[in-house]
Amino acid sequence: MKVKQMRYRGFVFRIFETTLIMLLIGCLPNVLKDDHIDVGTILEKTVIGYSEGDSAVLINASSSKIKYLNDEIKGLFTVAEDNVMISEDSENELLIQYPKLKYHVKVRLCIQQSIKEYTLDRVSFNALQLGIIAKYKMNDEETAIDSLIAY
């Protein structure tokens, strides 16, 4: 009887150990910090428009709500399955009124459980869905996402 219990405990321990390793691999940033690679959950997506020294939050989206500057702006964004996207044509239309646009995401880092905000390009902004875990490479200052690795 004791042999069966010991085998069962060993089996359960190996399953637990394997599961833990798999979870950590998925959520651990690269140990080489020089690579500026991190992993986190996308919490919020924001687009800010800048015009003659003024700025306006055009859209702010989280898993619980989406806020638009106004109804005209709302028509320029596409919302589907926990994702907010903007087409190139809509971006060009916004650039008439706001000559500079910045795309931001807030990310909860997997290991530190801290929240960071990054800027990124429109294509990457569109690719990242709210609530997903993404692996990405940051710029040297760690303020912007240079490229997406997995999402």
pLDDT band at 127 (very low <50, low <70, confident <90, very high): very high
Burial letters 44-79, b for 16+ CB under 10 A, else e:
bbbbbbeeeeeeeebbbbbeeeeebbeeebeebbee
Residues 86 and 23 in one domain: no
For the chain, the distance separating the N- and C-terminal CA atoms, rounded to the nearest angstrom, is 47
Instruction: Please tell me the predicted confidence (pLDDT) of residue 37.
Output: 86
Residues 87 and 15 in one domain: no
Contacts 24+ apart (CB under 8 A), 7-16: none
Q: Taking 50 as the threshold, does the pLDDT of residue 10 lie above it? A: yes
Instruction: Please tell me the predicted confidence (pLDDT) of residue 147.
Output: 85
Q: How many domains does the chain have?
A: 2
Q: Taking 90 as the threshold, does the pLDDT of residue 146 lie above it? A: no
Each residue of 103-117: pLDDT tens digit?
Answer: 999 999 987 779 999
The number of beta carbons lying within 10 Å of the beta carbon of residue 95 is 13
Residues 22 and 79 in one domain: no
Residues 16 and 80 in one domain: no
Residues 13 and 45 in one domain: no
Residue span of the structural domain in which 10 resides: 1-30
Whether the model pTM is above 0.85: no
Residues 1 and 68 in one domain: no
Residues 9 and 36 in one domain: no
Residues 71 and 122 in one domain: yes
Q: Comparing C-alpha atoms, which of 57, 90, 61, 55 is closest to residue 76?
A: 90
Average pLDDT over the chain, rounded to whole? 83
Residues 4 and 70 in one domain: no
Each residue of 29-69: pLDDT tens digit?
Answer: 444 344 788 899 999 999 999 999 899 999 999 988 999 99
